[in-house]
Chain A
């Protein structure tokens, strides 16, 4: 944990140290605030969250046993699914009834559990697709290259820079479909950054990534926060959660059952019980 010495990291940790470690607790500087979110599938209540806040400039982990409703909550917050009821705000802006692409335009961008690299586009095309406000993306401009060529060059330069940072530059002109699972995760994260987000939501960034890449993914996620972005991520890898998160939110059966710093959570009896129930005897952070 020694690496988190950036200004944002220290600010976030200091602020969160004052927060009570209980479900639904208030944060000093919340970027995302959600109230009374419910989502039912048929008769099953998949998500039932009374109140949750995410601290600005922090790395917040969302954990919980399988079927806890983490991904559903992600889908709801990012506009990919509609709740039966509930309201939430992002940077003070109400987001319920806002469609997914608007949410992304407002600076809240997400990735997916099963990576969605666009396999038949090259890596660089994938990256350039991420840039927002492109003049050439209007169909009447599409056939007039002079209206977008200069902007395209700038976007390409930025994309190359990010590819370099994520060590994908050697794959630049390959089809994204030829990348390995871990590389796809990196590409998806880099592509999300092309939108210039203020908050990044990562759905299981470590799933299917080999251990060598995990370390560098960790570094990249820290890098996001250190550049001033807020990160909310769903993860099963407790090692990683403990390692990089400033704050942990725990869900089980659709509800929030605990919140706190990683250390507080690893001692939390409710969390251990929830995991025991689900994992039949495996202790929560057995590697931690």
Chain B
């Protein structure tokens, strides 16, 4: 039974992460309530995908057991019960109305909903019948998929962390609002491409420029002033926290917290490249981000500007004594950081959809990445961010040849998808314990 619930968890979360199952794109205009309501989804999962079950009766009752209403699922497996107000209530599925031979996969037919947990207007509950079938692909196929996903995540984190790391290196500031710069990118690209109907690539380009300008504006309007006032680094860090609260809530106010997707390339037609099936969307995202990564690396390595940036990041005092205008470098770093974060937001938005807190959720992985790579080192951020991204995805695979050890099943089974970021914290702690300067950092920087 335990096994079963774990698989179910994987199935449910897999689809939640994809963002598409709670709000199916096509059926978004389905019936709704004027007031609060309960939407029950009834699906069969025995074939490995979700088959909606029609004609199943679902009853909603209050805590005392008084029925408040009922409904029967439609062809999409959806039953909607409108209620007068948000109270503690129970949702019961009438198992006798299930199709012949189907039974609920897990748990009770009655689910309890606490009013305090009733946040959205329509509360969605899901029922599944049949035992979840694990993907029929073999281990190696799934590992391959995980690695591909990991590379995608890794590229995003690498892109976003370069700026974070350079800002730290040049100004000493650990910017807790960097995640919001990522979200900014995702949302602006959405506004251009969906709101204004621009083609996607010009939208993305405009977004990257705007992201850079935002970084520049933040430095000019805020951070440069704070540095001039002599505000301490710890205070600056707290200020960055304040900034992240402001930005996050502005995003939530005007964009909402639902996942929205770019309309470009929404129909995924996969083309085959040898053994790999890849959609056009992923292809564009991959090429754009790889080009950006290589361009950043080359700029830092080859150009005068890049060398000066690295010099300031390595040792601000020394660099300014050699005649480098460190304030100018810092402005450039903020522009670069802002535009790269925006690009990361666009790419992430292509992968996972745009959401008000998409960047905030990446922040901790960025920190793990730059700590792994070495705080303040640009290459370190690239490498560290990439490694963390790949590691997070691959950690869900586990090593199946090992036996299940109680408490340590995750070693053989893989970390549950919903907890895949937990190993990143473990990495963070291990690095700090054993090599706090990171893999590419120098020891003198720490302490």
Contacts and interface: CB of A to CB of B under 8 A. Distances in A.
Contacts of A41: 444
A281 interface: no
Interface string A37-57: 000011000000000000000
Nearest to B447: A81
Nearest to A42: B442
Nearest to B444: A41
Contacts of A42: 442, 444
Contacts of B444: 41-42
A249 to B, nearest CB: 26
For chain B, the bracket of interface size reads: under 10
Nearest to A81: B447
A42 B442 CA distance: 8
Interface residues of A, number: 2
A42 B444 CA distance: 9
A41 B444 CA distance: 7
A41 B442 CA distance: 9
A124 B342 CA distance: 53
B230 to A, nearest CB: 14
Interface string B403-447: 000000000000000000000000000000000000000101000
B387 to A, nearest CB: 24
A42 B441 CA distance: 11
A141 to B, nearest CB: 29
Interface string B304-331: 0000000000000000000000000000
A59 B176 CA distance: 50
Nearest to A41: B444
Contacts of B442: 42
A42 B318 CA distance: 15
A83 to B, nearest CB: 13
Nearest to B442: A42
A41 B445 CA distance: 11
Nearest to A82: B443
B131 to A, nearest CB: 55
Interface in A187-231: none
B251 to A, nearest CB: 38
Interface in A11-54: 41-42
A154 to B, nearest CB: 36
B440 to A, nearest CB: 14
A57 to B, nearest CB: 34
A42 B315 CA distance: 13
B188 to A, nearest CB: 42
A137 B136 CA distance: 63
A252 B184 CA distance: 55
A38 to B, nearest CB: 15
B194 to A, nearest CB: 51
A200 to B, nearest CB: 25
B437 to A, nearest CB: 12
A42 to B, nearest CB: 7
Nearest to A80: B447
Interface of B: 442, 444
User: What are the 3 A-B residue pairs with the smallest beta carbon separation, nearest first?
Assistant: A41-B444, A42-B442, A42-B444
3 contacts: A41-B444, A42-B442, A42-B444
